[in-house]
Each structure stands twice: as structure tokens, then as C-alpha cells.
Homo-oligomer: A and B are copies of this chain.
Amino acid sequence: MNADSITRRTERDEVLAKAAAAKAVLPALRAGAPDRKNTVLTAAAAALRENASTIITANAADIERGVAAGMSGALVDRLRLTQPRIDAMACGLEQVAALADPVGQVVCGRTLPNGLKLTQVRVPLGVMGMVYEARPNVTVDAFGLAFKAGNAALLRGSKSARQSNTALVEILRRVLADHDFPEDALQLLPCQTHESVQDLITARGLVDVVIPRGGAGLITAVVTGASVPTIETGTGNCHVYVHADADIEMATEIILNGKTRRPSVCNATETVLIDRAVAKNNQFNIIHAIQDAGVVVHGIPAELKDICGQGLVEADESDWAEEYLSMDVAVKLVDGIDGALEHIATYSSGHTEAIVTKDLTVAERFTDLVDSAAVMVNASTAFTDGEQYGMGAEIGISTQKLHARGPMGLPELTTTKWVVIGRGQTRP
């Protein structure tokens, strides 16, 4: 047996052993009263601040390895932990402590004709796996939300953030132990090989859900390779449709905000659909404003050449499906609301689509027929976000239809059970 296959066998054993350990601590987590959990979260925030220099030293080693391996500037920036970023992670934990505890919430209940008392109660999901890229802040966010919802977290972070994640998890596990919670409520999985992801997502009977967080490739690999339940998050090819009867100034503001506020996030606007009926001058104004903001327009030359001039990048089929995550946008002219609906149905990733219109009937048709997690009228796609929606912190934005759709907060990290109280009833 060569060294590689020994690494694999060892990794697989480690993943399964950690998953079993996570399952074993669930009763202790289920029994954790809200106050006790909140004390842990607040203490964890303090511990991160106290140990900032340890974290920064570990992170520096990851950065050094990354730079030596030729990691891009953007990735290095994502990986880097600084004093303010550590403070932001700590604040995140304090915010989670302040949120309502989802465990034990009664969703509904009734007394049946035979006197049985039926209650549907929120309970933890159980063992929750996360697979993510080189963003060490996800380590802390995922722990905070998973722990508050009564779940044990198995974190499979990127190899390039290994030392940062190790330092963070050690600190957090110490806090758990100090407060009489099992340390194995939080465990970091091995990340030497890609296959350790496979070990996690096929651990049926041990793992209750895996949430991938990262680029489209990572998400597709996890969702298609998993035999445990998964929640698909985050790919956002968000559209803004400017209807014939739109306030053009409002449309321009909404497009600029959705595209340029933070181009790298999943709620950024990626495609603008302009109704052919929008008067020619207005179309000019919108597109020139986009270009003036430094955004590169991808479109069909026959439609846009006169307006964009040399600045136009010729679009092909792939542009309509593209999540640029950059200062690029696809622009297309469409024939009325039906043209817009058809384009969206064909190319949308089901995240967020917006219409700008003053027409009530058209707005209603758009909200009824667009099949996405969020459908907006006269608002920026950038609003699709757990904090903006008033849900507190979010673990990601689900673009699937089962279990959770849109921003996922604490309740989405729980399941329910039916508690039935009788006095000896049997079924006729």
C-alpha cells in the first residue's frame, strides 16, 4: 500500500470516527438550555478576541504557503485574518447569542377529536456538515449558528486555510469544554485530499445534512455526489427587468446598486433585460450609466453596438447563464413581460429576480410566474440577505426548493417532531 492510499484510509477513518463522535454528543446538545448555549457563544466571542494574536500567527502561515503557491491576490485577501476581521467574527457570535432560540419553538398544535394532544415542535437537525473554501470566518459563523440550533458541526474547510481553521476550532472547543458542553460538538475534518469531502457526504446514518458554501463547482460536486441530504446554496444569476412602464431613473439606480455595490456576492445583478418598448433615449441613459460606473456590458452587437460603441463585449449563449461576480453585466432587449419571463425561466439560477415597473398587473404577473427564491418589484437584488430580511445571521442562501428557500437562518437549521400526548388511546 503506497503513502497516498494510507493517507486516504486514515482520512476516511478519521471522518467516520468524527461523525460518530458528533452523533454521540447530540443528546447533550438537545438538553442544552438556551441560557447555557448563549453563555458559550458570548464566551467564544471573548476567547476569539483574547487569542487574536494566536489566530493571526496561524493565519500568517496559511498566507505564506498560499503566496508561495501562487495564490491570487483576491484569494489571499479572502483568506487573511486581521484584528478587525477577528472582531467581526466575535461580534457575529454575540449577535447569534442575541437571537431567539429556535429549539423547542412550537410550530403548530391541536387536540384531535379523540383527545390526543398533538404538537409540532422545532428540534435540532443533528449532525451538520459544512464544506467550504478558504474563508476562515465561515468556521466561526457555522459553529455559532449550528451550536445555537443544537447541532453538532463537522467542518470541512479548505486545505489552504488549514492552520487558521485549526487555531479557531481549538479555541472554540476549549470554550465548549469550559462550559460543560462536549468538545465534539465542533470538529474540523481532515482536508489532505479531495476525497475526504466524499467521505463526509456519503456518511449515511451519521450525518443529517451537508451544506456546501462556495463556488458553483464546489456546490455541484457536493450536491450530486452526496447520499446524505444536502442544501444547495448560493449561485446567483440575478436578473433586473426594466418594463416599458418603468421609472427610468429608479431602474438605473436599482441596476447600479445591484451590480456595483458588491459585485462578488451571490445577490449581485448579473443580467439586465430591457424591454424593447422602453423609449430609445431611456435605453441609452440606462446603458450609459452602467458603462460610466465602470461596468463592462456584454450584449448582442445588433442590439447594442450603437449605444455601447467599442465598449461592448459580444455576448454568446454562455453569457446569459453566467454568474460574473465581477464588474461585468449581460444586457439583452426583450419583447414585453413574456419575453422577460421566458428568458428568466431559461437562464435563471433561481436566486433573485427584480422587475422595475409602475404597472400593477405586470408586477403581479412577474411575482406570480417567476420561480425563484426571491422576486422583487422596484427594489435592488442586493436585498436578498438574511440580515436584511430581519432573520439575523444567515448560513447561506438556498436556491433549492426543499426545506429552505432563500436566506437560511436559525429555524432552517432545525427540523420538527410531532409530540403526541394521550391517555391510552388506540386507533379503531
Contacts and interface: CB of A to CB of B under 8 A. Distances in A.
Interface of A: 26-27, 30-31, 110, 112, 116, 118, 120, 123, 125-126, 204, 208-209, 223-224, 227, 229, 231, 247, 250, 253-254, 256-258, 261, 341, 345, 363, 367-369, 371-380, 382-384, 388-390, 400-403, 405-406, 415-427
B110 A31 contact: no
Given A229-B400, A402-B403, A405-B415, A261 B427 contact: yes
A254 B424 contact: yes
A132 to B, nearest CB: 19
B26 A422 contact: no
Given A118-B389, A253-B426, A420 B112 contact: no
B224 A380 contact: no
Contact of A384 (B418, B424, B425): B418
B373 A424 contact: no
A26 B247 CA distance: 31
Copies of this chain held together in the complex: 2
A377 B112 CA distance: 15
A403 B408 CA distance: 13
A262 to B, nearest CB: 9
B209 A401 contact: yes
Given A402-B403, A427-B261, A112 B389 contact: yes
Nearest to A249: B424
Contact of A421 (B341, B378, B402): B378
A406 B402 contact: no
A13 to B, nearest CB: 21
Contacts of A378: 421-425
A382 B415 contact: no
Q: A223, A250, A419: which has the most chain B beta carbons within 10 Å?
A: A419
Contacts of A368: 30-31
A256 B426 CA distance: 9
A380 B425 contact: yes
A231 B402 contact: yes
Contacts of A123: 371
Contacts of A371: 26, 30, 123, 126, 417
Contacts of A257: 426-427
28 contacts: A26-B371, A27-B369, A30-B371, A110-B390, A112-B388, A112-B390, A118-B390, A125-B402, A126-B371, A208-B401, A229-B401, A229-B402, A254-B426, A256-B426, A257-B426, A257-B427, A261-B426, A367-B419, A374-B417, A378-B422, A379-B424, A383-B422, A384-B418, A402-B402, A403-B403, A405-B417, A406-B417, A406-B418
A224 B204 contact: yes
A227 B224 contact: yes
A366 to B, nearest CB: 10
A129 to B, nearest CB: 13
Contacts of A120: 406
A426 to B, nearest CB: 4
A388 B116 CA distance: 10
Contacts of A390: 110, 112, 118
Contacts of A375: 417-420
